[in-house]
Amino acid sequence: MENVMATETVISKPAQPSLLRLLREDVNCVFQRDPAARSHFEVLTTYPGVHAILLQRIAHRLWKFRLRYLARLLSWFARLLTNIDIHPGATIGRRFFIDHGAGVVIGETAEIGDDVTLYHGVTLGGTTWNKGKRHPTLGDGVVVGAGAKILGAITLGNQVRVGANSVVVKDVPSHRTVVGIPAKVVLLSEEAGADNIYGINLDHHLIPDPVGRAIACLMERIEILEAQLSKQGVPVDGQCRLCDADELCGTEVARMARSK
């Protein structure tokens, strides 16, 4: 009975893709997420993000075979060549894409799911010097905008989108968009627009402006209160005493009110 169960367990375990297949998928996925890509030859020879992931996948295999120095040496060469620093111990899923690539840093214990897209300047960093899990875990289909920092042993669920220059330090549930420092959830990912034909939502720039909305609400409330005071015969001086841009302020209020 135990032999039968062991056999069933082995059969049910998904086979790990070959290195060649992973590399082929990494190249092909570029055409799904970058309209500037024109040919496989161009992608293979001119895309630093592709070069970085190709070398990291080889370095990761060396790391798993405990050839740690060779893995780190190859990782150093990849950083020298691409300006992308990915630790060979990082676990990266299928069809991973780094757009532009410059300044991307991925730490040793980072775990990245399938179909993840990072833009330039992204950091998946740690917040402690202790060994063990100290870098983020990204689910499938995550898109991280340029300059964003995701720090600590936190988890971002599937289809999460991180706005540019955001700093994420807490777990984010699946299908959410986060923005800000520290990053906060601003809307469900589905509210920002439909996915493309490949099922990957790259519209990480379609995010609301919560600060602008709050200011617009406050200014609208002030206008209502001033109108009520005027009806009661209380003199109201609506002149802005901080600047001479009353007309500009009124225009901005109207603009923000229309955008709500």
pLDDT tens sequence for the chain (260 residues): 445 444 444 444 456 778 888 888 988 889 888 888 899 999 999 999 999 999 999 999 999 999 999 999 999 999 999 999 999 999 999 999 999 888 999 999 999 999 999 999 999 999 888 888 999 999 999 999 999 999 999 999 999 999 889 999 999 999 988 988 888 888 665 554 445 545 555 565 556 666 667 787 888 888 888 888 878 877 766 665 555 545 555 555 555 555 55
pLDDT of residue 215: 81
Residue 201 lies in a domain: no
Question: Helix 19-28 crosses helix 48-64 at what angle (to 10 degrees)?
Answer: 160
Domain match, 159 and 218 both: no
Residue 203 lies in a domain: no
> Concatenated DSSP letters for the chain?
-HHHHHHHHHHHSPPPPPHHHHHHHHHHTHHHH-TT---HHHHHHH-HHHHHHHHHHHHHHHHHTT-HHHHHHHHHHHHHHHS-EE-TT-EE-SS-EESS-TT-EE-TT-EE-TT-EE-TT-EEE-S-SSSSS-S-EE-TT-EE-TT-EEESS-EE-TT-EE-TT-EE-S-B-SSEEEETTTTEEEEEGGGG----TTS----TT----HHHHHHHHHHHHHHHHHHHHHHTT-------SS-S-HHHHHHHHHHHHHH-
Residue 22 lies in a domain: yes
Domain match, 84 and 133 both: yes
Domain match, 231 and 128 both: no
Peptide bond into 14 cis (omega under 30): no
Q: Of 192, 222, 242, which closes a domain?
A: 192
pLDDT of residue 214: 75
Domain match, 185 and 214 both: no
CATH of the domain at 66: 2.160.10.10
pLDDT of residue 209: 62
Domain match, 132 and 10 both: yes
Q: How many domains does the chain have?
A: 2
pLDDT of residue 234: 75
Domain match, 233 and 106 both: no
Residue 202 lies in a domain: no
Domain match, 242 and 125 both: no
CA distances from 253 to 6, 65, 78, 125, 242 (A): 68, 62, 50, 40, 16
CA distances from 14 to 22, 63, 187, 190 (A): 15, 22, 34, 30
Q: Of 135, 165, 192, which closes a domain?
A: 192
Domain match, 221 and 140 both: no
Domain match, 178 and 221 both: no
pLDDT of residue 130: 85
pLDDT of residue 7: 43
Domain match, 16 and 115 both: yes
Domain match, 44 and 170 both: yes
Residue 197 lies in a domain: no
Q: Of 192, 225, 249, which closes a domain?
A: 192
Domain match, 107 and 162 both: yes
pLDDT of residue 104: 94
Instruction: Give the separation between CA 213 and CA 5, rounded to whole angstroms.
Output: 58
pLDDT of residue 220: 83
b/e per residue 105-142 (b: at least 16 CB within 10 A): bbbbbbbbbbbbbbbbbbbbbbeeeeeeebbbbbbbbb
Residue-range definition of the domain harbouring residue 242: 210-259
